[in-house]
A and B are shown apart, each in its own frame.
Chain A
Amino acid sequence: MKHLIYILFISLSITTNAQIDYTKLIIGRNTGLKTFYNGDSTRIFGFAESLGEAIDIPGPTIRITEGDSVMIDFWNVSQGAPHTIHLHGLDVDQQNDGVPALSFTVGHMDHGFYVFKAPHPGTYLYHCHVVSSIHVQAGMYGVMIVEPSSGTNVVWNGGEAFDRDLLLTTSEIDTLWHNPDVLLHDTTMGAMIMVPETFEPQFYLVNGITETNLADPLNHHYVGLNEKVYIRSSNIGYMGVRHIFPSSLLAKTISSDGRPLPTEVSSDTVELHPGERFGTLIQVGTDSIYPITTEFFDLNTQNVMSTQTSYIHTSAASIIDLPEPTISVYPNPSHTGIFHITGDLEQAYHIYDSIGRILQSSQDNTFDLSDQSKGIYIMRYQDRLIKLINY
């Protein structure tokens, strides 16, 4: 019966698909494992784009275009609790808002379809809204970016241009909240669901990583010299966050929550509270490695609980202490996005983007980045690193 309903829904969707400009499959799962810089690991829930992809925190970044009719096909493969997708800040109608009891939930092996028109250009979030205190902490969140209809590298139509954008997504993990007795709560409608007595994170995350992982050159944000960079910061954690940029980057915050600010704010510090997003332009003027300090502060005491440092790294600045690889890649730079490998590949290599997310893992002698944006990528092979330039 469920299958018949699903087929009927798909049929109806196909008949109306002429109005859908963009469809995105997002899979929700309950069985992820997050490993931290110190070797500790904890169970997470999360989102992925395919069944073969391991879930991670944050979930996949979704980019859509202003004005497009969008359908998120959410497939719950969780083996457990129902989930939803709340489109945070996108001001969708009640039916598509992803709040249980007011919208719909998606059970195990079911699909849910969220249909909306992409609103104002800007940075948004998506997250599960089922027992949100638990499911967001569990890891079910990601960033959604609405790009302007006039092009991808302007902040909004008629607004300032930039060379690239970078994400700073902050959250925390308290592993007590990831114990099975918390994560695997009663899913009966109306059941009393308890959360732990305290929220005392052990891990403070910037783009899903923390501490020494942020210092790893693999996880630096690589930018070009003299580039103007649009920082899209968002805070989906339960603490306040303060990003502090080097003054030489001339940080200027121009937008929040998907709208221009009435007056731009020239300040090295950008403060975000849970659920907020900000857009900040920086200007990279000289070759260097620029630290971005992120303070996490307790909302009850305003005490700083953790300070994390991530790095913006100009492409001409050297990557520190890279061991010599046993393979080589050509052409590098590549203007086609096609790269070839010489040398014996004894195991798989991994290709990362500028915020350290794995794009590909393969043992083939050729890989293709032509569908990726121009810029710097990192190849990791046997703990050795190769900088790739796709121009």
Chain B
Amino acid sequence: MIRCLIVALLIISFKSYGAIIDVRLEIKSGTLNLVSGTPIPYKVFTQQSGFPNNSDLLIWEVGDQINLTVVNADSVLHGFTLDSYVSFPSIAVSDSSYQSFTLNNAGVYRYYDPINSPYNEYLGLAGIVHIKNVGDNVPYFYWDVREHQSDWNDTIIQAFNPDLNFYTPDYFTINGNSNPDINNDPTARVVGANGSEFRIVIVNNGLSIHSMHFHGYHFISIADSKYMTGRNKDTFPIYPKDHLVLSCVPDKGGEYPVHDHNLVAVTGGQVYANGIFTTMLIAP
């Protein structure tokens, strides 16, 4: 079901050059089921009828005209910001905001709820927009990296903001999934072939720093919101609210892990290795 929704979303999002795209994002409350089975209160921006594990990934192209409506279907005040393009400082309960805009610059952007920062973003109200250049046919994979302190979500929902100095997350996710479920998400799970370039877009929508280590290959950063681009590394740190675009041309086939090298973040609910751990599958 999730795969169908993702495929549908990708089909909707990919349009020819200069396409007019209607996007209706709803702010919804629901629950995220952690890898242990524990549900925690969660919120998302989504075009989907159900409640996904993560705010929607939006893939557009330079030149597209976006007609964006954001609907607050939650029970408290929210806002919406798409860096460089849109700012709705507040959207009342059951109300909506609208803006039409044209995409001028390729790149990776964050959208998020600016209200009660960073707690509403922590609760799930932040996502990825990738504006691709026309004709960019390189395969991309997308990682919205987060972590969760499972006893915080109820507290924040009840309008109490915990002290960030005592943040000790116990679950760690990519696109809302932990190992082994990350490999079931075709948006996240890298599948490639020897000699063929692929790219990974990584956005940190959590509160912690993550340090992503790749087995088997070095990657080159072609976009990095914190460090110089062009770094050729096997381990890339990513700070909260930052993004990376990494490129790799595999030189061999095989199945190679990628994981956070903060090895606490490889666990989930104290269980090894139920955290940020996935594998890249490269055909020879």
Residues of the A chain whose Cβ atoms lie less than 8 Å from the Cβ of B218: 89, 91, 257-259
B232–A300 touching, CB < 8 Å: no
Instruction: Note all chain B residues with C-beta closer than 8 A to A259.
Output: 218, 231-233
Contact bitstring A274-291, B, C-beta under 8 A = 1, else 0: 111000000000000000
B271 touching A192, Cβ below 8 Å: yes
How far, in Å, is A111 (CB) from chain B's closest CB? 23
Residue B252 is within 8 A (CB to CB) of chain A in the complex = yes
Residue in contact with A257 in the complex, picked from B210, B235, B263, B266, CB distance below 8 Å:
B235
Instruction: Evaluate contact between A91 and B217: CB separation under 8 angstroms.
Output: yes
B273 touches A301 (CB 8 A): no
In the complex the two chains form, what is the Cα distance from A356 to B266 in whole Å?
33
Determine whether A226 belongs to the interface, using a CB cutoff of 8 Å to chain B.
Answer: no
Is B257 a contact of A257 with CB atoms below 8 Å? no
With A and B bound together, what is the CA distance between A302 and B235 in angstroms?
Answer: 19
* Beta-carbon contacts under 8 Å, A50-105 to B: 86, 88-89, 91-94, 97, 99, 102
- Ranked nearest first, the 3 interchain pairs of A and B with the lowest CB-CB distance are A275-B261, A94-B254, A262-B230
Among listed A34-42, A129-137, A211-219, interface-contacting one? A129-137
Contact among B207, B216, B252, B263 for A300, CB-based, below 8 A: B207
Flag the segment in A9-17, A194-202, A312-320 that touches B. A194-202
**Given known A89-B234, A273-B235, A273-B237, contact A299–B271 (CB-CB < 8 A):** no
Q: Would A303 and B165 be within 8 Å (CB), given that A93-B252, A133-B264, A137-B263 are in contact?
A: yes
A184 at the interface (CB under 8 A from B): no
Inter-chain CA distance A91–B230, complex, in Å, is 19
Which of A92, A132, A136, A300 is B208 in contact with, Cβ under 8 Å?
Answer: A300
Q: Is B215 interfacial (CB 8 A cutoff)?
A: yes
Q: How far is the CB of B79 from chain A (nearest CB, A)?
A: 25
Q: What's the minimum C-beta distance from A176 to chain B, rounded to whole angstroms?
A: 12
Q: Does A47 contact B (CB under 8 A)?
A: no
Determine if A139 is an interface residue (Cβ-Cβ < 8 Å): no
The verdict on A301 contacting B165 (CB below 8 Å), with A93-B254, A274-B262, A276-B235 known, is yes
Q: Are A194 and B229 in contact, with the CB atoms below 8 A?
A: no
Cβ–Cβ contact B233 & A97, under 8 A: no
A residues less than 8 Å from B147 (CB atoms):
300
29 A-B residue pairings within 8 Å (CB atoms)? A89-B234, A91-B217, A91-B234, A93-B254, A94-B254, A97-B256, A102-B255, A102-B257, A131-B273, A132-B266, A133-B264, A133-B267, A134-B272, A240-B237, A257-B234, A259-B233, A262-B228, A262-B230, A273-B209, A274-B235, A274-B261, A275-B234, A276-B211, A299-B208, A299-B211, A300-B147, A300-B168, A300-B169, A300-B208
Q: Does A8 contact B (CB under 8 A)?
A: no
Question: A310: CB under 8 A from chain B?
Answer: no
Chain B residue nearest to A275 (CB atoms) is B261
Q: Does chain A have a CB within 8 A of B270?
A: yes
Enumerate chain A residues within 8 angstroms of B170, measured Cβ to Cβ.
197
Instruction: State whether A99 and B266 are in contact (beta carbons under 8 Å apart), knowing that A195-B272, A273-B261, A300-B168 are contacts in the complex.
Output: no
- Chain B residues with CB under 8 A of A169: none
A195 contacts which of B169, B262, B270, B279 (Cβ < 8 Å)?
B270
Q: How big is chain B's contact interface, by range? A: 35 or more
Known: A99-B257, A133-B272, A193-B271. A276 touches B237 (CB 8 A): yes
Q: How far is the CB of B78 from chain A (nearest CB, A)?
A: 25
Q: How far is the CB of B265 from chain A (nearest CB, A)?
A: 8
**Which of A97, A102, A238 is in CB contact (< 8 Å) with B263?**
A238
A263-B165 in contact given A91-B217, A94-B255 (Cβ < 8 Å) = no
The answer to whether A88 and B213 touch across the interface, beta carbons within 8 angstroms, is: yes
B98 at the interface (CB under 8 A from A): no
Interface footprint category on A? 35 or more
Chain B min CB distance to A230 (Å)? 18
Inter-chain CA distance A228–B40, complex, in Å, is 55
Given contacts A91-B217, A301-B164, contact A131 B272 (CB under 8 A): yes
Q: In whole angstroms, what is the CA distance A84 to B133 when docked?
A: 44
C-alpha gap A192/B270 in the complex (Å):
10
* Nearest-CB residue, chain A, relative to B282: A94
B215 near A132: Cβ-Cβ < 8 Å:
no
Complex Cα–Cα for A136 and B264 (A): 11
Pair B167/A274 contact, Cβ less than 8 Å: no
Minimal beta-carbon separation of A296 from chain B (angstroms): 13
Q: A94-B216, A303-B165 are in contact. Are A240 and B263 (CB under 8 A)?
A: no
- 8 Å CB contact of A196 from B213, B229, B270: B270
**Measured between alpha carbons, how far is A198 from B267 in the docked complex, in Å?**
11
User: Residue of A at shortest CB range from B215?
Assistant: A97
Contacts of B229 in A (CB 8 A): 262
In the bound complex, CA of A263 to CA of B227 (Å): 11
- Most chain A beta carbons < 10 A, residue from B168, B211, B213, B263: B263
Would you call B262 and A102 a contact (CB within 8 A)?
A: no
Decide yes or no: A136 and B215 within 8 Å by CB, A193-B272, A257-B232, A300-B208 being known contacts.
no
Are A102 and B167 in contact (CB-based, < 8 A)? no
How far does the Cβ of B175 sit from chain A's closest Cβ, in whole Å? 20
Q: Chain A 224-268, CB within 8 Å of chain B: the 1/0 string?
A: 000000000000001110000000000000001111111100000
Q: How far is the CA of A238 from the CA of B210 in the complex (A)?
A: 10
List of B residues within 8 angstroms of A261 by Cβ: 228, 231
Among the listed B165, B167, B211, B264, which residue makes an inter-chain contact with A275, where contact means beta carbons less than 8 Å apart?
A: B211
Q: Could you tell me which residues of chain A, from 166 to 224, have a CB within 8 Å of some CB in chain B?
A: 192-199
